Amino acid sequence: MVKQKLKRWIDNNINNKKRKDSDSMKYRYKLSKVIEKFINDCVLEEINIGCSDSQVIKIIKNDSTYFLKIARLGLITSEYEKLKWLDNKLDVPKVILYDKDDVTEFLITESINGEMVCSDKYIQDPMLGLNVIAQAFKKILEVDINDCPFDVSIDYKLKLVENNVKNKLIDISQLSESALNKFGNLENILEFLKINKFSEEKCFSHGDTSLPNIFALDNKFSGFIDVGECGIADKWFDLAICEKSIKRNYGEEYISKFYEELNIIPDRDKIEYYLLMMELYL
């Protein structure tokens, strides 16, 4: 899922970390025995991403780097299943360990080599970043969807945002001024999205192609993180998310250069549709 608060935090490069050992780290959830054994005597670094539903911890173990994600039961299941399916299909973190109990899930993955394409290096040279992003999109489109079991197409997304609206999970004060002025309220946006649903150009979709989820090493694409919403979907969804992140990180003037790098003529109607849909994401 495109978690707006999380993305704002990362895109603005606010980094609040606490470096500790396994004994002094404070955990929001009780660890399983398997996890305790893995992190014993490791150097730990909590990644404070402002997300109340999960805890993310960087692990340094035998000169290797891993990430531990801890959350309530059910919140990590999709990401775990998709990482396993994507193994040898796309450059994503390798699953090292998955465990769960009656209330909690745990997922340990290897780190992706390189740096985000919204790091200072690429902020200072956006065209270099756009070249890496183009490489990343090429890799996405190479994933064969014939045996893909994950459907995250437009109907799935509409149900998702409808649930957010009906359960009053969206803060209307966080809507963009343009959306608020045009539609007035969340219900009108939802209705517009339902009425104007269109035929999709289905392919494999990462599901959250924000710049913090795309990594580069030596100016070459090195991998994706955050694949919990990947699956079969419309190609314009990933493009719209990436466009929004490029605007925030590189500047609006690089949006046209983004599509030029991909050799794609942007379908503004579909892109604007998904940008509007994102207003109803958490």
Instruction: Please list the active-site residues.
Output: 208
Task: Report how far residue 71's alpha carbon sits from residue 122's, in angstroms, rounded to the nearest whole number.
Answer: 32
Per-residue tokens: 34: 């398997």
What are the C-alpha distances in Å from 182 to residues 28, 177, 189, 242?
A: 41, 9, 9, 24
List, in order, residues 6 or more apart from 250 with CB less than 8 Å away.
122, 123, 126, 129, 130
Reference 229, options 274, 169, 165, 182; nearest CA is 274
- With beta carbons less than 8 A apart as the criterion, state whether 69 and 55 touch: yes
List, in order, residues 6 or more apart from 235 with CB less than 8 Å away.
141, 201, 202, 203, 205
Burial of 263 from C-beta contacts in 10 A (0-12 / 13-18 / 19+): exposed
What are the C-alpha distances in Å from 47 to residues 9, 32, 256?
A: 12, 20, 34
Helix-strand-coil split of the chain, %, nearest 5: 45, 20, 35
Per-residue tokens: 183: 């539609």
Burial of 253 from C-beta contacts in 10 A (0-12 / 13-18 / 19+): exposed
Regarding beta strands 64-72 and 43-47, do their DSSP bridges make them parallel or antiparallel, or are they unpaired? unpaired
- With beta carbons less than 8 A apart as the criterion, state whether 249 and 123 touch: yes
Neighbours of 93 (CB within 10 A): 23
